[in-house]
Structures are given as structure tokens and as C-alpha cells.
């Protein structure tokens, strides 16, 4: 059924074809059509029905005239303007046709898409399962957040940061108990996590020190394939990428800044893939908002390594944005908090200079 798109008068456009400001056409008002009414009108020549937005168009009408183009006196409506046929009318089924692609597979469903889906008559759709990600904190120095650390101990915090990002990306993050630096224990914890997870993240133990067991643990697990160990990036080069029976396992460095950077570069794309891989450029643009800014300081960058530098942004009076790079030591947790985004310096670029315009990924 056709419906009115505005409040006004339902007419047959032919009846008022000659109407204008100086020579109005007078129609006879025969009733009022409201939303939800089931008694529909049939209109004869030179007749009209007052109609509400959303109400069903009376028979023999095809257009709606706006109230401001009319003057009503009792049962007479003077119309001062002609309309195009179909004006302000929603034709039945005009909204979508059989065979139309309405929503492409793998689109991340937005609130407005839910409206469209309901409108089309669907009550259930298949969606990707939220990936379950277990995060395993490792390290003899770590204590849980509810234990007061001794001077040589550190409160385990990376896993909370990682869980936050996992959930931001649509996953379900579970933090496992802290695992001590022992080959057997690390291996056991990874096996246990794989049983209940779609992806496993091991925090710490990914370097090449004598106490770093993540690589060895993974090598000993049946069906595991280590794809990379250490990559040419800074910070966060000590990353470990593996697949165990089809499930991604990622080892991240223990240092907070390195951990976050490696997660950003390697774990985020894997998680996006697991939760449905939004392929559209506009969805990627929406998920990774960035801002152009002007560097306030020179940055040296190691040749042959991708370099990720945290920056703090400031809005300048002239409408531009400045980016102050934190080039200090990577352990400073406070720079993570103080920074607003990250810039990537390509492997073959060895320096950026004060005044350079950089693209800052907000994170």
C-alpha cells in the first residue's frame, strides 16, 4: 500500500495540474486518513482527503499537497500549487525489490542496519561468533592485582590492557592465571587455553633470554607451526606468531609499550578476521580513526625497522594539530597514558623532522 510521506492533502495530481498562486483549484474535503486507519477512502474527481504522514493513500490519489500550499474553509480546500505525480508518496515495496542485495555479507551490523533488517521482515540473522581470546600473563616477577607487590615484583597489568582491546574489537577476553617462567607450566597453560579459546595471547617470555620459554613451549606443542619470532619493528619486535591446529597464538613482549605496539600491529588484524573481517574501506576508516598533525620534534628511526612512535596531540590556535613524539625509553607506562595516538615510520625512513605532517592513528 502507498503511504503519505508528509502531513497534507491527498490528491490526484491531474486535478490540480493548473493550480498556482493566482488561480487556485478548489477541492472537496471528504475525510481524514490517519495512521493505523483501516477504512480507506475512495476519492472522485476534484476531491481530497486530509492525510497524516504514514497513513495509507486513498484510492485514486497519487500525491500529497503540503498544507502551506492550501487554504481550507470548511469542506473546501483551495490548492495554490500543482505537484508532480507521486509527490510525497512512498510506493509500496519501493524500499526494496526481490533480488536486491540489501546488506553485504561480513558487514559489521550498525544500529541503522538493524532497522533495515526488521523492516524487511527478518527477525533473525546469522552473525559471526564473538571470538574468545585467552590472555596468559607469564613471568616470575608478576603478582595478581589483589596482592601487594614486593620490591622485586610487578603487578600484572598488561593482560588488563589486552583484554580491554580484545573487547573493544568485539571479542571476549579472558585473563588466565599468572604462569611462572617454566617450560612445562607455559606449555600446559597454552594447551589449556587452546581448549576453550579461538585465539591465545601469551604476554611475556617472547624474547631470547634464558628465562623466555614461550617459543620453546610452542615448539613442543603438537600441531603448532611458528610463523615468526622477532620481527623488524620497534618497539615490540620480540613478537611470536604461531598457529596451533588452526588457532592463532600470539606471544607479546612483556614491556607495556612493546606489548601494546605488537598487539596493535599483529593481534588486531587477526581479531578482526576472526570476528568477520570487515572488508569495506569505509568500515576500516571508521575502525581506525586518524588525524593529521605537525611534528614538534625531530625523530631518529632505526634503518631497516618499522618504528612506531607514540605522540601527544595538541590543538593549535590556527586550527592545526601538533604531535609531540615520545621517543624516550619504552618502559614508560605513563607515555601510553599521555599519548593520544601512534605514528608509523617505515623501515626505509631514518628520520622525521619538526614540521613534518604525519598521520596519527588515534588509539
Q: Taking CB under 8 A as the rule, does residue 121 contact a second copy? A: yes
Residue with Cβ nearer a second copy (21 or 39):
39
State which of residues 72, 155, 296, 350 lies at the interface with a second copy (CB under 8 A). 155
Q: How many CB atoms lie within 10 A of CB 266?
A: 22
Residue with Cβ nearer a second copy (127 or 362):
362
Question: What's the length of the chain?
Answer: 363
State which of residues 209, 223, 304, 355 lies at the interface with a second copy (CB under 8 A). 209
Q: Taking CB under 8 A as the rule, does residue 317 contact a second copy? A: no
State which of residues 127, 331, 346, 351 lies at the interface with a second copy (CB under 8 A). 331
Q: Which stretch binds a second copy (CB under 8 A): 23-31, 69-77, 226-234, 275-283?
A: 275-283
Q: Taking CB under 8 A as the rule, does residue 229 contact a second copy? A: no
Q: Which stretch binds a second copy (CB under 8 A): 90-98, 127-135, 221-229, 241-249?
A: 90-98
Smallest distance from a second copy to CB 202, Å: 16
Q: Taking CB under 8 A as the rule, does residue 245 contact a second copy? A: no
Q: Taking CB under 8 A as the rule, does residue 98 contact a second copy? A: no
Q: Taking CB under 8 A as the rule, does residue 359 contact a second copy? A: no
**Contact call for residues 115 and 102 (beta carbons, < 8 A):** no
Q: Taking CB under 8 A as the rule, does residue 66 contact a second copy? A: no
User: For residues 72 and 26, what is the distance between their CA atoms, to the nearest angstrom?
Assistant: 9
How many binding residues for a second copy (CB under 8 A)? 85
Nearest to 25 by CA among 66, 69, 89, 74: 69
Smallest distance from a second copy to CB 282, Å: 5
User: For residues 15 and 19, what is the distance between their CA atoms, to the nearest angstrom?
Assistant: 9
What is the sign, positive or negative, of the torsion defined by CA atoms of 7, 12, 15, 20? positive
User: For residues 12 and 5, what is the distance between their CA atoms, to the nearest angstrom?
Assistant: 15
State which of residues 237, 251, 276, 341 lies at the interface with a second copy (CB under 8 A). 341
Q: Taking CB under 8 A as the rule, does residue 154 contact a second copy? A: yes
Sheet with strand 8-11: strands edge to edge:
63-65, 8-11, 47-51, 25-33, 76-79, 70-73
Pairing of strands 299-300, 224-229: unpaired
Residue with Cβ nearer a second copy (24 or 131):
131
Q: Taking CB under 8 A as the rule, does residue 211 contact a second copy? A: yes
User: For residues 54 and 164, what is the distance between their CA atoms, to the nearest angstrom?
Assistant: 44
**Contact call for residues 8 and 33 (beta carbons, < 8 A):** no
Smallest distance from a second copy to CB 111, Å: 3
Smallest distance from a second copy to CB 243, Å: 25
Nearest to 33 by CA among 13, 60, 14: 60
**Contact call for residues 301 and 345 (beta carbons, < 8 A):** yes
Exposure pattern of 185-201 as b/e (b: 16+ CB <10 Å)?
A: ebbebbebbbeebbbbb
Question: What residues numbered 23-62 form the site for a second copy, per CB under 8 A?
Answer: 32, 34-38, 52-54, 56
Q: Name the maximum alpha-carbon separation found in the chain.
A: 96
Q: Which stretch binds a second copy (CB under 8 A): 72-80, 95-103, 127-135, 184-192?
A: 95-103
Q: Taking CB under 8 A as the rule, does residue 93 contact a second copy? A: no
Q: Which stretch binds a second copy (CB under 8 A): 13-21, 190-198, 219-227, 274-282?
A: 274-282
Q: Which stretch binds a second copy (CB under 8 A): 10-18, 183-191, 220-228, 286-294?
A: 286-294
Q: Taking CB under 8 A as the rule, does residue 321 contact a second copy? A: yes
**Contact call for residues 75 and 36 (beta carbons, < 8 A):** no
Amino acid at each position: 500500500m502507498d503511504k503519505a510521506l508528509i502531513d497534507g492533502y491527498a490528491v490526484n495530481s491531474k486535478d490540480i495540474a493548473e493550480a498556482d498562486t493566482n488561480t487556485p483549484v478548489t477541492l472537496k474535503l471528504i475525510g481524514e486518513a490517519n495512521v493505523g486507519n483501516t477504512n480507506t477512502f475512495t476519492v472522485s474527481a476534484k476531491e481530497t482527503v486530509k492525510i497524516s504522514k504514514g497513513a495509507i493513500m486513498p484510492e485514486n490519489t497519487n500525491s500529497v499537497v503540503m498544507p502551506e500550499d492550501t487554504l481550507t474553509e470548511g469542506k473546501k480546500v483551495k490548492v495554490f500549487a500543482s505537484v508532480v505525480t507521486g509527490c510525497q508518496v512512498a510506493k509500496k515495496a519501493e524500499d526494496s525489490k526481490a533480488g536486491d542485495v540489501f546488506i553485504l555479507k561480513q558487514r559489521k551490523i550498525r544500529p541503522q542496519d538493524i532497522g533495515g533488517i526488521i523492516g524487511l521482515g527478518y527477525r533473525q540473522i546469522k552473525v559471526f561468533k564473538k571470538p574468545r581470546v585467552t590472555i596468559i600473563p607469564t613471568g616470575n616477577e608478576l603478582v595478581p592485582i589483589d596482592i601487594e607487590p614486593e620490591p622485586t615484583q610487578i603487578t600484572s597489568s598488561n593482560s588488563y590492557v589486552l583484554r580491554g582491546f580484545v573487547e573493544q574489537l568485539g571479542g571476549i577476553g579472558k585473563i588466565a592465571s599468572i604462569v611462572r617462567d617454566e617450560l612445562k607450566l607455559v606449555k600446559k597453560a597454552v594447551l589449556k587455553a587452546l581448549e576453550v579459546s579461538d585465539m591465545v595471547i601469551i604476554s611475556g617470555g617472547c624474547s631470547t633470554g634464558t628465562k623466555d620459554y614461550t617459543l620453546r613451549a610452542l615448539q613442543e606443542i603438537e600441531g603448532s607451526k611458528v610463523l615468526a619470532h622477532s620481527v623488524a619493528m620497534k618497539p615490540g619486535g620480540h613478537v611470536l606468531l604461531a598457529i596451533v591446529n588452526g588457532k592463532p597464538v600470539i606471544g607479546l613482549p612483556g614491556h607495556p609499550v612493546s606489548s601494546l605496539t605488537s598487539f596493535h600491529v599483529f593481534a588486531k588484524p587477526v581479531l578482526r578476521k576472526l570476528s568477520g573481517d570487515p572488508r569495506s574501506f569505509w568500515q576500516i576508516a571508521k575502525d581506525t580513526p586518524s588525524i593529521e598533525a605537525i611534528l614538534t620534534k625531530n625523530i631518529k628511526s632505526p634503518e631497516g625497522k618499522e618504528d612506531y612512535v607514540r605522540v601527544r596531540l595538541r590543538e593549535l590556535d590556527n586550527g592545526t594539530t601538533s604531535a609531540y613524539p615520545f621517543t624516550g625509553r619504552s618502559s614508560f607506562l605513563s607515555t601510553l597514558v599521555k599519548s593520544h595516538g601512534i605514528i608509523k615510520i617505515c623501515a626505509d625512513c631514518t628520520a622525521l623532522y619538526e614540521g613534518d605532517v604525519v598521520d596519527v592513528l588515534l588509539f
